[in-house]
Every structure is written in C-alpha cells, then in structure tokens.
Chains A and B, each alone.
Chain A
Amino acid sequence: MADFYFQTKDLSVGYDGKPLIRDISIGIEKGEIVTLIGPNGSGKSTILKSIARQLKTIAGTVLIEKNDLKSLSYRETAQKMAVVLTERIKAELMTCWDVAATGRYPYTGRLGILTREDKAKVAAALEAVHALDLAQRDFAKASDGQRQRVLLARAICQEPDIIVLDEPTSFLDIRHKLELLSILRSMAKENRITVIMSLHEIDLAKKISDKIMCVKGETIGQYGTPEEVFREANIRSLYEIKQGFFDPVFGSIELSKPEGEAKVLVISACGTGIPVYRQLQKENVPFCAGILYTNDIDYRVARLLAAEVIEEKPFCAISDAAFEREAYWIQRAERIIDAGVEIGNGNQRMRDLLILAEQSGKLQRGWCR
C-alpha cells in the first residue's frame, strides 16, 4: 500500500479479546472524509473506538504519518485526534462554553487554566459551529442539536489533524444535519482535517464522503469512493433490503413499492409522473408506468415505485415490444392516468397509444383524485 496519511494494517477490532471485525486495511489521505456505513450493530462504533484508542485493538496497527498510534503518548494522541461520541454526557453545572473549553485540555498546563489565547480559540471554535451565542447556556438544558454542535466545537478546540465522529447526525433535525455536515466539509477541505465518521443516512454519506467503508460481517465489505461503493445491489445486500429503494444516482431513498399486480397505468414523461407515483404509493395502489425512456427522470423514480415499468432505450423510436406491452396494460388497467407527455419524432407512437387509452374510457387526464 502506498503511503497514506492515516492507515490501518490488518486491523482486527472487538471486545474482550474476541475479534468482531478482522483484517481492516485502509488508507486515508489528509483532508479526506471517510464514512462508515452499515446496519445497526455491525461494528461501526467498534471500529471508530478502536481507531480513537478507546478500545484496545486485537491485532494489526493504526498508523498516523507512519507512526504507530500505540507508540504515541495519550497527550500526543489527543493533540492529533479528537472525537465526538454518541454517548450522552452528564455535564453537571457546565455551560456550553465550559464543555467546549475542555477541548483545550491537551494544551493547557498542570492545572488546566486557560490563557487568553486558549479562550480566543474556544470562542473561534464556537463561532465556527454557529454556537457562540450558546456559550453561557447550561449544557444540560441545551437541545440535542445545540449539544452536538458544542461537542463539535469541543473537538475543534482540540486542534486535531483527525476528527472521529460516531453518528454525529443522530438526534439532529434535517437543518442541523446539513449544517453539521457542511461544517465538517469545510473543516476537511479548508483546514485539511481528516474526518472519519459513521452515518446512518446513506444518502448524505454518499454526498459528503470521499471514501465509503461498508461494515458488515466479519470483514469490511467494500472500501472505496462513493461511486464505487454506492451501487444499488451493494447497498441492498449491505442492509439486507429486499426491495429496491435506493437510487444510487441521486442518493434518494424511497419507501417500498405497493405489493400486488398493477391496477393503474400511468403515462408520463419528463417528471410529470413523479407526483402521481408518490400519491399512488401513499394510497398503496400498485401501478404500471410507461412508456418511459430510461434517461427520463420519471424512470428513475418509477423503477423503485412501480410494479412494472415499460421502458425504452433513450432517443429511440418506440419498439413493437414496448408498444404491445403498453397496449396490454391499457386494456388491463382499472384506471389510466395521463400525467402529460410531450410527443416528438422519437415517441410518436405514443399518440396511437393515447388514442387507444381514450377509447378504453378509463383515461383520466392530468392528476386529480
């Protein structure tokens, strides 16, 4: 393996000397964001704790700039690496400022008294996470989102090269999730801080990470760029999901499709079908969608939600096979919804199909209940 800034070599982690996950060998460049994904209980936290020296590693080594982590003193480690953990802290009578200021620990003297410079750094860290106005608030009374930001500020105060975060976005609402991740991104890209974290939100993981590690089973499944890792089949097998729900292109997540044979045929193009699909899904009505070109935005959603998609290759004329299938469904469906189709040279056979639909007496134009 080439020389990476942060490396694990044949790392085995687990509890009480029993390995849970074996042979983790990964390399991370400085300033990269690496995200661990995987189902609950798969060992993401175990890996993170082992990297952060909270847990004894069972075998293998963790290297920072080619130095074995174990050879560093606790203080040296603390100056290189900061953590944000999932466990709730019971800070009694501590303000958010006090909590953030503990991050200066590895730099202060014997009694831990903050210098003017330390204080300025604490203030800057709080400002970076937009929490300076929380400084005097009692930490125990702050909201989950505020606490998480203060804990991130605490980690920033520690001036680490690497920051390890265990599910930093749990408990946060969507706005604070996005805020937190964008703070992490700017830390990684502007300050060259390496970020190693676990996330539950695979859609967000895909969008923020430089590398993804899939954690499941005895060894880590896949490690690579999001483009390599986020293939639908990978994600399905990682989380043991039976039905398609994840779109690797947009990273969007859908609920499972309604079960059973299609009752409704939806004819649409260029996004007009999506609201119809969603409504039918909410009503738990199985439907068939088509004819859709596979580059149509409707297609990406339909393949996750529709019982059947009648598809056609992009920029081609509608083939006989697709035409016949559509005609079959026009006959069979209980309802036909025309959400709006632009007809041009390529798909002019749609016109014939729409006439067929019209004649069937089941056609409903546009979307109305």
Chain B
Amino acid sequence: MKHPANDIMGVNLRRRTRYTGVFLILLTAFCVIVVLNINIGSVPIPISKIAGILFTGEGDARQVAIIWKIRLPRIAMAAILGGALSLSGFLLQTFFLNPLAGPFVLGISSGAKMVVALTMIFFLGRFGMVSSWALILAALMGSLVSVGFILLLSRRLKHMAILLVGGIMIGYICSAVTDFIIAFADDADIVNLHGWSLGSFSGTSWEGVAVAGAVVGITSALVFFLSKPIGAYQLGEAYAQSMGVNIRAFRIALIVLSSLLSACVTAFAGPISFVGIAVPHLVKHSLNTSKPLIAIPATVLGGAVFCMACDLIARTAFAPTELSISTVTSVFGAPVVIAMMMKRHRER
C-alpha cells in the first residue's frame, strides 16, 4: 500500500538527489572556470602545463609568475567577493522578504562606495597609502548608513516597490556625492578612484585576498550558523518570534552581516551590480528550495562561479581593453531580474 509517509521519504530522496546534482554542477563549473581563467589571457598558458605549475611550482618562470602573482589572486578574489555579494543579496532578500532586494539595488553598495572614496582621498592625500582594513571599515560604515536610511524608510512605508525606489534614490544620492568628491580630488587620486569606482578585480594582491578571505570566510560561517533562524524568518517576523527567535538581535545580526559582506566587496572591487539579486534567485530555483541550510552554501558557490566567469569575460572579451566587472554582471544579471519581475507579476 502506498502510504503518504513513505511518499514523503521518497520525495526527500528526490530532493536530496536534486541538491547533490546542483552542487556537483556548481563545483564542476567552478573548476572549469578556474582552469579557463588561468588558461586565457594576453599570455595564454596551455592547460597541459597548468597542473604542473600549480602543484609542483615548476615550469616556465614567466608563466609561473603570471599564474601566481596575477591570475590566481585575481581568481581567488573574484571567487571570494562573488560569493560574498550573492550571500549578501540572499540575506537582504530574507530580511526584506523581497526577492528583488540586493546590496546594489538598495543603495548599500553606493553608500559604501561614497565613504570608501572619502577615505581613499583622505588617506592617500595624507599618507600616500591606505590599508585594506581601513577600506573595509569605511565601506562598512557607508553600508550601514545606507541600510539605516532604508530601514527608516521601510518602517514608514510598508510597500516594497517604494522601498526599492527609495534604495535606488539613495544610490543616486551617494553616487552624486562620490562624483562631487572625485571632482575635487587630486589627479593622482582620481586615476586610482576611477578604476575602482567602476568595479574591477584587476591588480589584486595576495594580501588583499587574505584579508577578504578572512572577513568573508568568517562572516559566511556566521551566516551559515544562522540558517535556523533565517529559515524561521522566511515565514515572516511574527511567526519567527513565535518560534522563539529573538527578533531584535536577529535583525541586527542579519543587517550587520549582510552589510559586512557587501562592504568587503565594495572595499576591494568597487560596486558590482546585479550579482546579489540574480545569483540567489537562480540558485534557489535550481535547487527548488529556499531552505537556508542548503541555499546558503549553494549561493556562495554560485556567486563565486558567476563572478569568476564574468571577470573572465571582462578581461578577455575585448582584450587588451578590460571591461569593468559591473558591465559584464549587468549584461547577464539584469535580464534575470527582469525575468523574475515578469514571473512574479504573472503569478499574482
């Protein structure tokens, strides 16, 4: 006899197979894109030699240098920040219970950009250098300022569309202020700022990778351990509270962690658009679940793959001219967002 309880076990098995499949695909894509990223460039490095250089450190000295000093740190940075960005998007979507929320749309990236630009000009003007930590801190302050505005707005206006419009407006204001600052900065600073404010992974150092890796790694681990309350929060604040979630503490944690993630991205690579919305959406729909325990690692992995792929395109599509990373992420991310909005509209 077919008992519903047995049916549930069968469905669980099917679900688990699906999760495994998605993870396998993501991991494979990850490896393939890493190899392609090493392989393709102004100096092509044959795939056959890559393993040798990576694992034994032997080979043509120039190729070794290109791989270890230029390509690998850049790949690592793209992976780390891509993961951070899409995880940040996932958290903001949970927080605002709106799949269209993301660090870029809500003006959080722009807020971070503004404060980072200020900090850069100040430090570069005074000391001629600026540490990664100072940039992360500055970006975090900027993110939190934007989030603060968004929260004030969301308390007054319950409507989600207004919230997004508000976020976009905050983004414009911050960008305007940033442009204003840049207009009055020294020439040397401007060159530095200009490349950064468009978003790029170029010129990544291992030192930067280590700092970004540490911040994103720890933050992501903390987020993962919040899986349970995040799952409860997906039913809404009131239900989450009734299940025993300390809402106030949880909301603060969620905001700080998501701001920290997107701040880290902005500090190292400038504002990058659409990853935060498109990747979590694609990942959740391919998993067919939003269960945080599964969706969080998959989102991080998906973001890494997406950003590495976009960086590959940014680097190589019109070589030797390099595109800004946002240009590429927009091309691929914006259509996904439009498709999402159409789908949501149809479902209503």
Contacts and interface: CB of A to CB of B under 8 A. Distances in A.
B284 A54 contact: no
Contact of B8 (A78, A105, A110, A119): A119
Contacts of B5: 120, 123, 132
Given A90-B97, A119-B8, A75 B231 contact: no
Contacts of B4: 123, 127, 132-133, 135
Contacts of A132: 4-5
Contacts of A97: 8
Interface stretch (B46-54, B60-68, B233-241): B233-241
Interface stretch (A34-42, A80-88, A327-335, A342-350): A80-88
B339 interface: no
A98 B228 CA distance: 13
A87 B231 contact: no
A165 B235 CA distance: 16
A78 B243 contact: yes
Contact of A93 (B11, B239, B290): B290
A48 to B, nearest CB: 11
A83 B239 contact: yes
B234 A92 contact: yes
B243 A105 contact: yes
A77 B289 contact: no
Interface string B231-256: 11011101101111110000000000
B288 A93 contact: yes
B242 A111 contact: no
Contacts of B232: 102, 105
Contact of A112 (B231, B235, B239, B289): B231
A113 B231 CA distance: 11
A94 B228 contact: no
Interface string B76-98: 00000000000000000000010
Given A112-B227, A123-B5, A91 B234 contact: yes
Nearest to B225: A110
A69 to B, nearest CB: 13
Interface residues of B, number: 31
Contacts of A77: 244
B243 A135 contact: no
Q: Is the interface of B mostly helix, strand, loop or mixed?
A: helix
Contacts of A76: 244
Contacts of A136: 7-8, 11
A127 B3 CA distance: 12
A89 B228 contact: no
Interface in B270-296: 284-285, 288-291, 293
A289 interface: no
B99 interface: yes
Nearest to B236: A89
A106 interface: yes
B238 to A, nearest CB: 5
B281 to A, nearest CB: 10
B232 to A, nearest CB: 5
A78 B242 contact: yes
A105 B228 contact: yes
A132 B3 CA distance: 10
Contacts of B227: 111-112
Contacts of B228: 105, 108, 110-112
B157 to A, nearest CB: 17
A85 B237 CA distance: 11
A108 B236 CA distance: 19
A53 interface: yes
Contacts of B236: 87, 89-90
Contacts of B290: 92-94
Interface string B194-238: 000000000000000000000000000000010110011011101
A81 B239 contact: no
A52 interface: yes
Contact of B242 (A83, A113, A133, A140): A83
Contacts of B235: 89, 91, 99, 102
A120 B4 CA distance: 12
A89 B245 contact: no
Interface string A300-320: 000000000000000000000
A103 interface: yes
B293 A112 contact: yes
B327 to A, nearest CB: 30
Which of B99, B241, B246 has the largest number of chain A CB atoms within 10 A?
A: B241
Report which residue of B99, B234, B289 has the largest number of chain A beta carbons within 10 angstroms of its beta carbon.
Answer: B234
Interface string A42-63: 0000000100111000000000
A109 B94 CA distance: 21
A158 interface: yes
A74 interface: yes
Contact of A74 (B7, B245, B284): B245
B242 A82 contact: yes
Q: Which of B236, B244, B289 counts the most chain A CB atoms within 10 A?
A: B244
A158 B241 CA distance: 13
A133 B228 CA distance: 26
Nearest to A155: B242
Given A93-B288, A111-B293, A102 B239 contact: yes
Contact of A54 (B8, B11, B238, B289): B238
A97 B227 CA distance: 18
19 contacts: A49-B238, A54-B241, A77-B244, A82-B242, A89-B236, A91-B235, A92-B99, A94-B290, A102-B239, A103-B243, A105-B228, A105-B232, A106-B243, A111-B227, A127-B4, A132-B4, A132-B5, A135-B8, A140-B347
Interface of A: 49, 52-54, 73-79, 81-83, 85, 87, 89-94, 97-99, 102-103, 105-106, 108, 110-113, 119-120, 123, 127, 132-133, 135-136, 140, 158
